[in-house]
Amino acid sequence: MDATVSKRWLLARLYEPEQTIVDCRFTLGQPEAGRDSYEEEHIPGAVYLDLKLDLSSPEREHGGRHPLPDPEVLAARLSKLGIGNDSRIVAYDDENGMNAARLWWLLRYLGHEQVFILEGGFSAWKAEKYPVTDHQPVRVPSTFVPNVQPQMLAGYEEVRSVSQRTLKDEANPSAANSSSALPVLVDSRSNDRYLGQNETLDPVGGHIPGAVNFFWKDTQNADGSFKSADELAEHFAGLPKDREIIVYCGSGVTACPNVLALEKAGFKNVRLYAGSWSDWISYEENHRNGDLQ
């Protein structure tokens, strides 16, 4: 089954007991806005998970603006909400799926495959006159046991090595260390941020040297749904399918829709650099050595 589900699909299964709907709405710069919106109205039966409080851990010196949550802490939160290892989760937001995709990626990282994203998000659901409510459900706690999949992650040291080797190979294509075996770094931010222009979220603009740019919103249609597999394959046609792809963004959130889109397009080996650009620039060695573009 695809990683996304339609509004009609969810409506037909709205009250199935094995399913948990999760509202992931969150507005950068307005940390209370998502929960306030949830409390005002949401899809019936939905519970709320906060990007900063639930789907991230507190910021540290390194790790970026939205460090990954501790698996055991997140598992305890899921358990309290009645989400167990047999649950089917449908996530939605109102931010083109970026926060819902963060939950989608995190659950898969914890070894849970039965997780999907609602196409179009909450506004599209409401626009179709589907039911909404302000009632917050009472959930019976369950047990979620994480089975962490570390192979889904790429760490800072590995990304730095890939970047340096990519630049070296680009400078000397005939070298024995051919870049054809290297992972490809994909920057998911808008092109102006990739180019170091109009940077409003991080203190330093630019991109990881050697990375190519595929803006995450270009994977979607005007209504916020993801493009078809064929359309996404065409969109990512410049990337080799026989190589590993490491995806990053500003803080590891908007990279997640790109991970989903790449997998939908047929790429089999896609990993996330969770700390992303905000983690990269936290290391002075990059500044000292001029490793910013």
- Residues 164-186 pLDDT 10s: 999 887 777 665 455 568 999 99
CA distance 145 to 125: 32
CA distance 188 to 207: 10
- Residues 74-85 pLDDT 10s: 999 999 999 999
pLDDT above 50 (res 290): no
> pTM for the complete prediction?
0.94
Q: What is the pLDDT of residue 293?
A: 59
**Catalytic residue of the set 249, 259, 260, 274:** 249
Helix (H) or strand (E) holding 73: helix 71-80
Span 54-66, mean pLDDT?
96
Out of 3.40.47.10, 3.40.718.10, 3.40.250.10, 2.102.10.10, select the CATH number for domain 4-149. Answer: 3.40.250.10
Between the CA atoms of 38, 122, 28 and 221, what dihedral angle is there, to the nearest 10 degrees?
A: 170
Span 264-287, mean pLDDT?
94
- Active-site residue flag, 249: yes
Task: Decide the pairing of beta strands 212-213 and 88-92.
Answer: unpaired
| Mean pLDDT for all residues in the chain | 94
Out of 3.30.70.2860, 3.40.250.10, 1.10.1380.10, 1.10.490.10, select the CATH number for domain 153-288. Answer: 3.40.250.10
Q: What is the pLDDT of residue 291?
A: 56
Q: What is the pLDDT of residue 170?
A: 77
Q: What is the pLDDT of residue 223?
A: 87
Q: What is the pLDDT of residue 173?
A: 64
Contact (Cβ atoms closer than 8 angstroms) between residue 183 and residue 243: yes
CA distance 79 to 21: 14
Beta strand ranges found along the chain (DSSP E): 4-5, 19-23, 47-48, 88-92, 115-118, 184-187, 212-213, 245-248, 270-272
- pLDDT band with cut points at 50, 70 and 90 for residue 284: confident
Which whole-number Å values give the CA distances from 247 to 151, 175, 244, 252, 263, in the listed order? Answer: 13, 26, 10, 9, 12
Q: What is the pLDDT of residue 224?
A: 86
Q: What is the pLDDT of residue 176?
A: 45
- All CATH 3.40.250.10 domain ranges in the chain, comma separated: 4-149, 153-288
Q: What is the pLDDT of residue 174?
A: 61
> For the chain, first and last CA: distance in Å?
39
CA distance 210 to 166: 6
pLDDT above 50 (res 190): yes
Task: Report the percentage of the chain scoring pLDDT > 70.
Answer: 95
Q: What is the pLDDT of residue 287?
A: 74
Contact (Cβ atoms closer than 8 angstroms) between residue 260 and residue 103: no
Rg (CA), the chain: 19
- Residues 92-145 pLDDT 10s: 999 999 999 999 999 999 999 999 999 999 999 999 999 999 999 999 999 999
